[in-house]
Amino acid sequence: MSIVFTSTKTPAARLDYTWDWVPWLTDVGDVLDTATVAVPEGLTAVGSPVVDEGVVTQRVSGGVVGATYELVCQITTVGGVIDEKTIDLTIVEH
């Protein structure tokens, strides 16, 4: 289930980006076990991803105006299912 969302931020902004896995986990009858967020070069992950009952949040800073970056959240469930969702993050002027 590769789902892509889009968002924007300025280079100076330090913002949280969230992936809500709860509806999907409910549909498949499973529970989130682990989560990682791949933050590409050019952006900075501020701390580790926070996992709270099926919702994964990663704080991100940086970026170059006009560039688009892919933030990829990959989860593994207790049942061994692996899936990912992507946020395409475009850096904009104020």
CATH superfamily for 3-91 is Immunoglobulins (2.60.40.10)
What would the mean pLDDT of 65-88 be, rounded to a whole number?
96
**Res 4: pLDDT:** 61
What would the mean pLDDT of 16-35 be, rounded to a whole number?
96
Q: Write the DSSP string, 18-81.
A: EEE-HHHHHHHT--EEEEEEE--TTEEEEEEEEEETTEEEEEEEE--TT-EEEEEEEEEETTS-
Per residue in 30-50, pLDDT (tens digit) is: 999 999 999 999 999 999 999
**Res 3: pLDDT:** 55
What pLDDT band is residue 1 in, cutting at 50, 70 and 90? very low
Evaluate if pTM is beyond 0.75. yes
